[in-house]
Amino acid sequence: MALAEAAEETRVQLEEALVRLRSSTHLLVLLLSLWQGLTPDQTNILEAALLPLLQDTPQLGWEESCDAAVSHLLRSCLSRSPKDQATSLAQQGGPVLGLPRDTARLKKHITLMCDRIAKGGRLTLASEANAPVPIQVQNLAAPGGVEPIAEVTGDGEEPELQQEATKFIKKKQPSKKVKKGRVTSSCCHLSSFSSD
């Protein structure tokens, strides 16, 4: 009888720990997505890697599955170079999941993932990361490639706000200059846009 009560108490404690873990990882995903302005697709990838969606089993726990998912992200879409990404995608199989001694490795991998996202790493699926960029998007990135779209109001005139936006777009944008190993930024002044 005492063993049954102890087992029930342990099950309840395990469920409480799972709820706390799910809440804290959801908070981590939310903070990362707000901090870096992640798209809903990127947030979904992050949730799939971090959130404990399944119940723990004696063979596989959250630590093992989360570490494997974060390691995969670090080797694939968050890798430092395209060469590393290509070699990791070409490898067959994955790491063997086993019971970790402690959580130091998982903490290290989550920290690396956050650092790479902060440095501009993109969370994309492997098929999206290697997809060619459409020519329309490439043209947008070219200097002068974006032209304002004139909106017509009810009386056929362009609004004053649209004219101000057109002036801003045609104004010289900030540029970076490299001088002897240093990156300096030159910026235009917007003194002509003072409010009346």
pLDDT score, position 195: 45
Whether residue 192 is contained in a domain is answered as no
Whether residue 25 is contained in a domain is answered as yes
Whether residue 22 is contained in a domain is answered as yes
d(CA 7, CA 144): 69
Range 169-174 average pLDDT: 54
Q: Domain total for the chain?
A: 1
Whether residue 94 is contained in a domain is answered as yes
Which of 24-33, 46-55, 186-195 shows the highest mean pLDDT?
24-33
Whether residue 116 is contained in a domain is answered as yes
pLDDT score, position 91: 52
Q: How far apart are the first and last CA of the chain?
A: 82
**CB contact set of 193 (below 8 Å; sequence gap of 6+):** 164, 167, 168
Whether residue 180 is contained in a domain is answered as no
pLDDT score, position 196: 42
Task: Tell me the one-letter amino acid at 2.
Answer: A
Query: Where is average pLDDT lowest: 10-14, 51-55, 59-63, 69-73?
Result: 51-55
The answer to whether residue 22 scores a pLDDT higher than 60 is yes
Q: How many CB atoms lie within 10 A of CB 152?
A: 10
Where in the sequence is the domain holding 95, given as residue range(s)? 2-129
Closest CA to 153 of 143, 163, 145: 163
Do residues 66 and 100 touch, judged by C-beta distance below 8 A?
no
What average pLDDT does the structure give for the chain? 70
pLDDT tens per residue, range 128-151: 444 444 454 444 444 444 444 444
Whether residue 160 is contained in a domain is answered as no
pTM: 0.55
Do residues 191 and 167 touch, judged by C-beta distance below 8 A?
no
Q: Which residue has the higher pLDDT, 181 or 73?
A: 73
d(CA 158, CA 99): 66
Whether residue 172 is contained in a domain is answered as no
Query: Where is average pLDDT lowest: 1-15, 36-50, 65-79?
Result: 65-79
